[in-house]
């Protein structure tokens, strides 16, 4: 009797090891899906962890595809989360930006401007667009995940595609040039060379800074070259030349940019959206909660 119980325990342990082994290679994909759905690194990690727990508790003998099961579970958890935090997003202090993902070689499928446009999609539109257009899932699979028929999922993705079309770059920026422009922008903006800085900016450039109400930022985007230059003059007047230290040049959410250490001791990320060789938008993350994963 004792031996059979021991054998069952060994089998259960072996089964859990097999389940964990199936999960580990899928974790990066699940994290990418969850992050692109939510725009939050910590929330994406929580979603993936919950999907793993549900996978370990599932009757895996009935699961034909661990990948399909886990993608379905993670996506549905994201949809539930988006519905739950809708009011928090509406009450957010100042511009909302997604958590910065800092990489040596940025991905080009979902850049920061595209993520901001996706914030205006319904949760189902966002899911259909990401699963089909970004991750390549067939509509039959998307329909199973979203519990809709394939025709409805096609409509969801089509509506999303129409709304995000303008956020996709018309001309890809050569990555080396993008990094060089980010380095030149950092140097000019911290040295007070307003003439050099002005030549890099488009006439309708804008700055979007996310402080989350926890660090000082403008509560609305700043629009126009003159207004942006005036902001940098004010910052230099208040803090002096070289007011921040360059930590690294990198791609931030797919855009050329950099990480800096600011005078208050906090990290900051800056991402530059470049169009026709000039900087069309500047995205600055100052919210310490969204920078914690970079420490």
**Based on the domain organization, do 287 and 199 belong to the same domain?**
yes
**Based on the domain organization, do 152 and 195 belong to the same domain?**
no
- The range of the structural domain enclosing residue 139 comes to 112-168
**Based on the domain organization, do 161 and 221 belong to the same domain?**
no
Q: Of the candidates 168, 194, 216, which is a domain's last residue?
A: 168
**Based on the domain organization, do 181 and 225 belong to the same domain?**
yes
Q: Is residue 97 part of a domain?
A: no
pLDDT band at 62, cuts 50/70/90?
A: confident
Q: Is residue 147 part of a domain?
A: yes
**Based on the domain organization, do 153 and 225 belong to the same domain?**
no
Which position has the higher pLDDT, 58 or 236? 236
**Based on the domain organization, do 15 and 85 belong to the same domain?**
yes
- Asked whether the predicted pLDDT for residue 231 surpasses 50, the reply is yes
Q: Which CATH number belongs to the domain containing residue 68 in this structure?
A: 1.10.1740
- Report residue 91 as tokens: 């009450």
Q: Is residue 106 part of a domain?
A: no
**Based on the domain organization, do 188 and 251 belong to the same domain?**
yes
Q: What is the DSSP string of the chain?
A: -HHHHHHHHHHHHHHHHHHHHHHGGGHHHHHHHHHHHHS-HHHHHHHHHHHHHHHHHS-GGG-S-HHHHHHHHHHHHHHHHHHHHHHHHHT-SS---PPP-EESS--SSS-HHHHHHHTTS-HHHHHHHIIIIIT---HHHHHHHHTS-HHHHHHHHHHHHHHHGGGS-SSPPPHHHHHHHHHHHHHHHHHT-HHHHHHHEEEEEEEEEE-TTTS---SS-EESHHHHHHHHHHHHHHH-TT-SEEEEEEEETTEEEEEEE-TTS-EEEEEEEEETTEEEEEEEE--HHHHGGG-
Q: Is residue 143 part of a domain?
A: yes
Q: Give the model's pLDDT for residue 9.
A: 40
- 201-226 residue pLDDT tens: 999 999 999 999 999 999 999 999 99
- 95-106 residue pLDDT tens: 999 999 999 887
**Based on the domain organization, do 69 and 179 belong to the same domain?**
no
**Based on the domain organization, do 161 and 189 belong to the same domain?**
no
**Based on the domain organization, do 188 and 142 belong to the same domain?**
no
Q: Of the candidates 32, 58, 91, which is a domain's last residue?
A: 91
**Based on the domain organization, do 13 and 72 belong to the same domain?**
yes
Q: Is residue 102 part of a domain?
A: no
Number of independent structural domains in the chain: 3
**Based on the domain organization, do 260 and 223 belong to the same domain?**
yes
- How far apart (Å, rounded) are the C-alpha atoms in residues 286 and 201? 22
- Asked whether the predicted pLDDT for residue 1 surpasses 90, the reply is no
């Amino acid at each position: 009797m004792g031996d059979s119980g021991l054998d069952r325990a060994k089998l259960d342990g072996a089964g859990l090891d097999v389940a964990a082994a199936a999960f580990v290679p899928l974790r990066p994909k699940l994290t990418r899906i969850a992050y692109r759905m939510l725009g939050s690194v910590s929330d994406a990690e929580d979603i993936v962890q919950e999907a793993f727990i549900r996978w370990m508790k599932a009757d895996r003998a009935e699961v034909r595809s661990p990948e399909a099961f886990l993608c379905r579970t993670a996506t549905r958890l994201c949809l539930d989360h988006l519905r739950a935090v809708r009011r928090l997003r509406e009450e957010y202090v100042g511009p909302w930006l997604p958590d910065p993902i800092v990489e040596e070689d940025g991905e080009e499928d979902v850049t920061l401007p595209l993520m901001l446009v996706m914030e205006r999609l319904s949760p189902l539109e966002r899911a259909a667009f990401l699963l089909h257009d970004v991750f390549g899932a067939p509509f039959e699979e998307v329909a199973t995940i979203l519990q809709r028929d394939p025709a409805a999922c096609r409509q969801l993705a089509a509506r999303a595609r129409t709304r995000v079309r303008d956020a996709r770059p018309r001309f890809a920026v050569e990555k080396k040039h993008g990094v060089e422009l980010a380095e030149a922008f950092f140097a000019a903006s911290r040295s007070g060379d307003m003439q050099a800085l002005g030549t890099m900016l488009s006439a309708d450039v804008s700055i979007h800074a996310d402080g989350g109400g926890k660090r000082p930022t403008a509560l609305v985007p700043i629009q126009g070259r003159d207004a942006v230059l005036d902001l940098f003059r004010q910052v230099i007047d208040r803090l002096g030349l070289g007011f921040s230290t360059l930590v690294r040049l990198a791609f931030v959410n797919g855009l050329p940019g950099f990480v800096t250490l600011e005078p208050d001791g906090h990290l900051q990320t800056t991402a530059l959206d470049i169009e026709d060789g000039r900087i069309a938008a500047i995205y600055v993350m100052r919210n310490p909660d969204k920078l914690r994963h970079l420490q």
